[in-house]
Amino acid sequence: MAASREDSKLGPIGQGREFISDSIVELKKVSVPTRQETVQATMVVIFMLFVVSIYLGMLDLIFKRLMESILS
């Protein structure tokens, strides 16, 4: 409730200025990953993609054979 009272005292222009200054403060906290971190994260994603695709392919093969045996 205290925040809503404070916001109403600022008015729309004051709220906009406060939002922009808070955004600038938060943007200064952001860190850009290094090249090595980016490459490592990319390799993890590619590896997991490979593992999940093999898993789904095996499930597809199992269900295909199961359906063929049921329907034949």
pLDDT of res. 3 = 58
Using the predicted structure, report yes or no on whether residue 13 has a pLDDT greater than 60. Answer: yes
18 Cβ contact list (under 8 Å, min separation 6): 10
Contact 56, 48 (CB under 8 A): no
Burial class (CB in 10 A: 0-12, 13-18, 19+), 31: exposed
Q: How many other β-carbons are positioned within 10 Å of the β-carbon of residue 34?
A: 9
User: Which pLDDT score, from 0 to 100, does residue 1 have?
Assistant: 44
10 vs 14, which has greater pLDDT? Answer: 14
Tokens linked to 3: 């925040």
**What is the tens place of the pLDDT at every residue in 14-53?**
899 999 999 999 999 999 999 999 999 999 999 999 999 9
pTM, to two decimals: 0.59
